């Protein structure tokens, strides 16, 4: 099984084995998502299928260009003007649902602009909202914080995120995520907490470098690390210094980040997310 990237509630984190059983009165669930490249759509469909939930795609009145740079340029221009893209009216009545799963790609460190447009048009007060996202390196944590700020009267629950480079992990990770969250029946053994970090050894630095090398938006050097055994192999939590990229004046300044790396048996190290 692939490594599950999720935030676990404090109460749940104290449990060693989680066993979840659906209630007789199943809440009504709606999966809303915006997807630019179909990655978020893949996750949305997986969640909806497992929960037997209603699902609807958020679409734009004027779709973004399919070219990556053209989309980025349009988003930057819109941000400078303080405008959001217009979305088409939803067919679903959000008020009819108890749980709302909201999916999106991470752009500029948070949920994509169409989600901001959605939040201006729907009332999620008193709803249980479960975020899920796809990203190049990370952004789940920051987007959840932004979602909580935008919807202070909703109950924002722990979310799920996956790198676009790891879409093959989605089926098993979603199953685990929904099990831990209590949405479907099953049992899952939660990993132990990471121990205290220590300075990286030469071997650990090599693992870090092997995991991040080749990713153009991450230029970092590992400082300290902690590791733990999980069902999939060994998971590392690196504290690293993210250095500025050359000839990239628009990139953020050097800062300390967390980089999570998974090493499965007989497989090369791969980073699963970055937390800035």
Delimit the domains of the chain by residue range: 10-189, 198-275
Per-residue pLDDT, 216 = 87
| Token pair recorded at residue 109 | 């460190």
pLDDT in tens, 24-40: 568 999 999 999 999 99
What is d(CA 64, CA 197) in angstroms, rounded to the nearest whole number? 43
Lowest mean pLDDT: which of 70-74, 95-99, 170-174, 251-255? 251-255
Lowest mean pLDDT: which of 12-26, 105-119, 144-158? 12-26
Q: pTM for this one? A: 0.87
- The band of 253, judged by pLDDT with boundaries at 50, 70 and 90, is low
Look up the CATH architecture of domain 10-189: 3-Layer(aba) Sandwich (3.40)
State the residue for tokens 């997807």: 35
Q: Name the average pLDDT for the chain.
A: 89
User: With pLDDT > 90 as the criterion, what percentage of the chain qualifies?
Assistant: 78
- The band of 114, judged by pLDDT with boundaries at 50, 70 and 90, is very high
Residue 1 clears pLDDT 60, i.e. is over it: no
Count Cβ atoms within 10 A of the Cβ of residue 101 and give its class: 0-12 exposed, 13-18 middle, 19 or more buried.
buried
Three state DSSP letters for the chain: CCCCCECCCHHHHCCCEEEECCCCCCCCEEEEECCCCCHHHHHHHHHHHHHCCEEEECCECCCCCCCHHHHHHHHHHHHHHCCCCCECCCCCCHHHCCEEEEEEEEECCEECHHHHHHHHHCCCCCCEEEEEEEECCCCHHHHHHHHHHHCCCCEECCCEEEEHHHHHHHHHHHHHHHHHCCCCCEEEECCCCCCCCEECCHHHHHHHHHHHCCCCCCCEEEEEEEEEEECCEEEEEEEEEECCCCCCCCCCCCEEEEEEEEEECCCCCEEEEEEC
What is d(CA 164, CA 270) in angstroms, rounded to the nearest whole number? 12
């Amino acid at each position: 099984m692939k490594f599950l990237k999720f935030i676990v509630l404090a109460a749940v984190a104290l449990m060693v084995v989680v066993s979840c059983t659906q209630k007789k009165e199943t809440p009504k669930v709606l999966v809303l998502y915006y997807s630019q490249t179909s990655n978020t759509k893949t996750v949305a469909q997986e969640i909806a299928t497992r929960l037997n939930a209603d699902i609807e795609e958020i679409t734009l009145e004027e779709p973004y260009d399919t070219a990556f740079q053209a989309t980025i340029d349009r988003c930057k221009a819109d941000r400078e003007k303080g405008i959001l893209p217009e979305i088409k009216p939803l067919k679903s009545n959000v008020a009819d649902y108890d749980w709302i799963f909201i999916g999106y790609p991470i752009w500029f460190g948070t949920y994509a602009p169409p989600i901001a447009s959605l939040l201006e048009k729907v009332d999620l007060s008193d709803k249980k909202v479960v975020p899920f996202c796809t990203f190049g390196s990370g952004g789940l944590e920051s987007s959840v914080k932004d979602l909580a700020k935008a919807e202070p009267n909703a109950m924002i629950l722990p979310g799920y995120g996956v790198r676009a480079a790891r879409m093959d992990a989605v089926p098993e990770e979603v199953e685990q995520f929904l099990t831990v969250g209590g949405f479907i029946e099953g049992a899952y053994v939660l990993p132990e907490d990471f121990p205290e970090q220590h300075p990286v050894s030469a071997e650990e630095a090599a693992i870090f470098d092997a995991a991040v090398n080749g990713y153009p938006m991450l230029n970092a050097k590992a400082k300290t690390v902690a590791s733990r055994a999980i069902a999939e192999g060994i998971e590392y939590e690196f504290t690293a210094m993210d250095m500025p990229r050359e000839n990239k004046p628009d990139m953020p300044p050097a800062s300390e980040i967390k980089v999570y790396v998974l090493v499965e048996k007989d497989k090369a190290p791969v980073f699963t997310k970055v937390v800035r």
